[in-house]
Amino acid sequence: MRLTIFWRVILTQTVLIALILGASLYALFQLHRLTDLSANILATDAAYIEEEKRLLKIFLAQMRNAEKYVLLRDKVFYSHFMEGRHDFTHSLETVAAQVDTPEENGLVQQIRDLYARYATSLSTALARKSSWNKEKDEISGEITESINTLIHLREEAIASKTATARDQAAAAARGMKWLTLGGMGAAVLLAYFHARGVSRPLKRLAQELRYVGKGEFGRSFHVHAPKEVGELAHAFNWMAERLAELDEMKADFIAHVSHDLRTPLTAIQEGTALLLEEIPGPLTASQREVLEVVRDHSERLFRTISSVLDLSKMEAGMMEYVYVPSDLASLIDRSVETVRLIAQKKQIQLQTTYPSALPLLLLDERRVQQVLDNLLSNAVKFTPEGGTVRVSSALEGDGNDQGRWIEVRVSDSGMGIPTEEAERVFEKFYQSPSHRGERHRGTGLGLAIARHIVEAHGGRIWVENHEEKGSTFVFTLPVRDSSQNESTVVVNAFAQQKVVSDAV
């Protein structure tokens, strides 16, 4: 089951909080361990050493009292020794209660035994046969050495615990470092996958919307995404289907209406022509003027209807083309002659430039002528009086036929096309807001038809905008090996006969 964006955010934040909480608990645990170890060193081991040092201090004081007693034979010093014996025994028992290793326990027992021998020997030290002088140095030396050994062992224990604390601190620091890095990495990965899971389908949806905005209604958008995005994709697919249906209905309506209009319009044109030829009878000047207006408008309407029908066939993939070896230069000259009278009326200079020998191209001459007529008529229409319209062609590409093409450029010196409209001029029925005046009116179908024709020939068409300095429309036609297209020419010639008969 796909999670919604809400639950994805909740899950991501929960994981991040869990990572932060885990790192915090680990840090608290390690800090607690270090605190306990430090407290143990300060509160226990340090106190043990102080007690052992006190034990040594007491014994050294008793040794002095014992020496004075034997030397001076004064009972006062012996009583001081006995008083100190109680303190020594109490201190020794305190140390014995604190030791926690067998070695230390052995040393405490040894001190206890040696001290008992020392005290017993002192009690008989004044007797004639006493062994005090022989044993005192040995016993006191062993007691002193044992106490110092206890102190040394406890100092070693403190050093060991300090080293352990240092190692634990270093291990904790390393653990926190890796835990922090791992948590940050996991957080970044979670954030990345969450963001990608939302942004990627939205970007794809935005791209699909742009395609739909360009008129490609047959789009379908399927993606594995959160529930809300999935519902949005479903709504998009439904919208695209509805738009495709509406576009098809619109195209069918326009095609049917245009087809139904062409027959009565043809009758109007024929009747107008018969009247202008005065076959039914002579005309007055005013009648002829009215009929000429009717003829001009009916021809304009006929061209519009023909353009709509052609575009409908092209969009449906039903347009047939006849490819025959053709001289593009002669087609250009023919189109230039078509607009020459209009150009002379506006004092527009027509310039043509192309190589002396262009290769023959496999073209549908009538359709390519339609492209050239449209581009040249637009150029003349949007060029002010006294301007210039240039037509040039050149052979481009490498030396073999498969990689060469002819590029045709039609330039004007008019007002140009705004940059934001450069792509939209090839959309059907689109007219620039700046070109919608009575002088520049049109159907907005010519460039859309030209694009279909050029692309059907395997070429491209685009506009190079020079705002306020005119514009240049460019299209390319590939150079093909005519031997590879002979069968296509025959088939398309038959199809063209069918198209002509249908038009009639």
Q: Give the pLDDT confidence of 199-208 residue by residue, as tens digits.
A: 778 888 788 8
Say if CB 312 and CB 377 are below 8 A apart: no
Does residue 319 surpass a pLDDT of 70?
yes
What's the gap between Cα 344 and its chain centre?
A: 56
CATH 3.30.565.10 domain extents, the chain: 324-503
Encode pLDDT of 91-103 as tens digits: 888 888 877 788 8
Residue partners of 69: CB distance under 8 A and separation at least 6: 75, 77, 78, 81, 122, 125
Parts of the chain belonging to CATH 1.20.120.1730: 5-189
Find the mean pLDDT for residues 48-60.
Answer: 87
- pLDDT of 7 reads 76
Q: Which pair of structure tokens corresponds to residue 340?
A: 């020459």
List helix spans (H) across 214-282. 227-276
Could you tell me the pLDDT band of residue 198, with boundaries at 50, 70 and 90?
A: confident
Comparing 83-87, 192-196, 328-332, 495-499, the range with the smallest average pLDDT is 495-499
State both tokens at 452. Answer: 């279909």
What pLDDT score does 254 carry? 66
Angle between helices 227-276 and 132-213 (to 10 degrees): 20
pLDDT at residue 248 is higher than 90: no
Check whether domain 227-316 has CATH 1.10.287.130, yes or no: yes
For residue 369, pLDDT beyond 90: yes
DSSP 360: P
The span from the CA of 317 to the CA of 320, in Å, is 8
**pLDDT of 51 over the 90 cut:** no
pLDDT band at residue 484 using 50, 70 and 90 as cut-offs: very low
Parallel/antiparallel/unpaired status of strands 349-353 and 461-465? unpaired
Tokens standing for 114?
């040696």
pLDDT at 28: 78
> What number is the average pLDDT over the span 134-159?
85
Exposure string (b/e) for 180-197, b if CB count within 10 Å is 16 or more? eeebeeeeeebeeebeeb
Confidence bin at 389 (pLDDT 50/70/90) = very high
Q: Which residue has the higher pLDDT, 285 or 484?
A: 285
Sign of CA dihedral 23, 26, 32, 34: negative
Edge-to-edge strand list for the sheet holding 404-411: 349-353, 388-397, 404-411, 471-478, 461-465
* Amino acid in position 59: F
Question: Cα–Cα distance between 148 and 151 in angstroms, integer?
Answer: 5
Sequence-distant (6+) residues with CB within 8 A of 177 are none
The pTM (predicted TM-score) of the whole model is 0.49
In eight-state DSSP terms, residue 41 is I
From residue 497, alpha-carbon distances to 321, 369, 501 in Å are 11, 18, 6
**Between 441 and 30, whose confidence is greater?**
30
Burial (0-12, 13-18, 19+ Cβ within 10 Å), 417 = buried
Model pLDDT, residue 399: 60
DSSP SS3 for 111: helix
Q: Per-residue confidence at 499, pLDDT binned at 50, 70, 90?
A: very low
Give the residue-averaged pLDDT of 221-229: 72
The predicted structure's pLDDT at residue 493: 32
Considering only residues 471 and 172, tell me which one the structure prediction assigns the higher pLDDT: 471
pLDDT digits (tens, 9 = 90+) for 268-291: 878 888 887 878 878 888 888 888
- The pLDDT value recorded for residue 441 is 55
Determine the average pLDDT of the residues in 329-340. 91
- Annotate 288-320 with DSSP letters as a single string: HHHHHHHHHHHHHHHHHHHHHHHHHHHHHT---
367 compared with 427, residue with greater pLDDT: 367
Report the pLDDT value the prediction gives residue 340, as an integer from 0 to 100. 92
Check if the beta carbon of residue 115 is closer than 8 Å to that of residue 82: no
Residues 412-433, mean pLDDT to the nearest whole number: 80
Q: What would the two tokens of residue 52 be? A: 């052992």
Mean pLDDT check: name the lowest of 75-84, 365-374, 420-429: 420-429
397 beta partners:
404
Which of 33-42, 69-78, 308-317 has the highest average model confidence (pLDDT)?
69-78
367 confidence band (pLDDT: 50, 70, 90): very high
Range 324-503 has CATH code 3.40.50.720 = no
| Banded pLDDT at 25 (limits 50, 70, 90) | confident
Work out the mean pLDDT of the chain and round it to a whole number.
79
Residues 253, 255, 260, 266: is their CA dihedral positive or negative?
A: positive
Tell me the mean pLDDT in the region 474-487.
68
pLDDT score at 489: 44
| Distance of alpha carbon 279 from alpha carbon 290, whole angstroms | 17
Q: Residue 429's pLDDT is what?
A: 75
Closest CA to 115 of 155, 148, 94, 86: 86
**Per-residue pLDDT for 503 more than 70?**
no
Under the banding of pLDDT at 50, 70 and 90, the label for residue 492 is very low
Residues in contact with 388: Cβ distance below 8 Å, sequence separation at least 6, in sequence order? 348, 349, 351, 412, 413
Whether residue 184 is predicted with pLDDT greater than 60 in this model: the reply is: yes
Point out which residues pair with 326 in neighbouring strands: 361
Tokens 């038809």 belong to residue: 449
Residue extent(s) of CATH 1.10.287.130 domains in the chain:
227-316
Please report where in the chains the tokens 């608990």 appear, as a residue. 25
Predicted confidence (pLDDT) at residue 193 exceeds the cutoff of 80: no
With cut-offs at 50, 70 and 90, classify the pLDDT of residue 255: low
CATH 1.20.120.1730 is right for the domain spanning 5-189: yes
- pLDDT at position 435 is 58
